[in-house]
Chain A
């Protein structure tokens, strides 16, 4: 093995009562893209925090060698000085400052304490060109989409003379073409000799760009794979991640549309039009028509920004948009969905895209979150019966296999997959006929995804209608009976499971 830029030797990190990392080894060669994979909670982020000095030297055991010298970082400034730059999952940008100001935040071009703006702007332009952005340096970061913000973060790293770039799930919030752009950029950096560590859940990205892979499971490094020396299948990686074979990523289900016996129509949306809540001349949703049958899983495919979430939220109690027009029939009857309580009462549930922001009360317990959307069912005359409530949440904990010692655990202490199961519990307990699931597996590891898929299948088998919105096309293809394709606020196509493919969906979007 030649030219190792980074070596982490038997890193062990303990938190009170928990061993987060147990003798983890990681070796990154100069100029390679090294993928770090593992389930949520496996210890990837902890390892990177050790590397970047967030957990200072002395708070862990083991050695870190960077460019063949032992380093002892006491803070993030130390590691950045050496050229190790980490880009966290939650972007660290100030939305109300300009691109130029953000790029050099804490690293300003100063002369005697005064910022040299011309130099700042010209360097900003250089850096933006490097990441392929054409924005003006004075544009406010808050006006950019998530994909571009991610690129700004990378440009920020470049401003600091980066040698090793660490990206923590950079594409989790990105749609496919933005992800592709970002991965291309990594390949370009590689050509320039910059090494990167890529933490991701998306296995297709790994097979596309990674030179080697380290798999971490339960705080220990399980295996290191060299992508050039051996041919590695996704199944291999998954097996190492979860410690078990996962022959099929999508659980099997009888697909009613294929069997030819469709349930009765549960939900029918016709001529649905929605305008932007602030800019009343902007129509966001145009003449959407769709239906969902009992026992059916219907997908909505489309790029981010195509209006999928806006459609779902406008249907669910008019939580988005103004001047909403159109008609929704539930079980054949016209439904009044004008407020969220009415929508819930009509039998609609909406599992939000962003579970932390919109789905959960993080400070509260699993129990409290589970019953929140249907408190009336565990109470009489406004008084909650704690025993029934506990029983209900306990039942869901077991049914959905939420891994936690008790339902009195605060949800902020749970992993992403378990949090998502709590959100699902909440909406299952609201007794809906139709569930709209918006990115139900975003930021969740492979093992938990499989469980969520199984739950969704069970819902359909129970005769509920499921609408599934997802950015991951394989997921839609693997799960749905029918897929609507959405672009710029319109449905541009409808595909049956039998003749749906990623290429067809993409071409519908592109041609629309």
Chain B
């Protein structure tokens, strides 16, 4: 009777666990994008490189701590360095706001001008990151690698399929939950959070009721920097840090934010998981899975793959297209400019 159990473990190992981890990383990235969009009213194309920037500082601090012999035992040292990375990233982002975006805000420029300005900021950050840490792969993960290894799982349970869960995947999901809970508490319960939502809903009314716009903008940037650094570091721990990959991450992150509904934090999270799961489930080859659950000798010859993995990006963009066609504001109601 272990056949269905094997089938489930197989699916968990190759679909469920990776998709949940990847989805969490996308969700955190999309949250930053959606926050900027909701409150500052533009699509921040520099977000991918903000992630790279924050992660770079986290890595530099991690190396410093490692050289001093500081560590967290089984957990990666990067968690210890994370707050410093966030601070460095926030300083840089606030600087970019002071030097670039504030000028256009004073002029009450169109959102599209902000978008183009953010592309400029993106290229600058791109260059700064490559200048400081270089374009190559950087490894900074340490501590234990696995919560459970595939081989150990097989020995313990006696099943023929293994399940591997990496420490980085565990940390990613736990951090994501903590961060999202903290963010929602902040937005809904604190005075600053409420003023941010007011500013987002109606800028003029918010100004009339005495909300300080500079403060709202500053807090928003700091939150976005924190989210970007956390998402980037988690992604780097799970996979690896390479500036170019972070730039490429921009696409799935924006897809997540738009599918969920731009400007809606809940939507960003849902969007992240929708994109991650659709990329992996649609292109997974179900041959082995089917062989476990169908009875007797009725074995599948083909791979039972819906789409070749070449098309995995097409999948997320088809979903994006469908959502935009039938629910232009996203799954959860977002904003439309």
The answer to whether A and B belong to the same complex is no
| Chain A residues within 8 Å of B, Cβ to Cβ | none
| Chain B residues within 8 Å of A, Cβ to Cβ | none
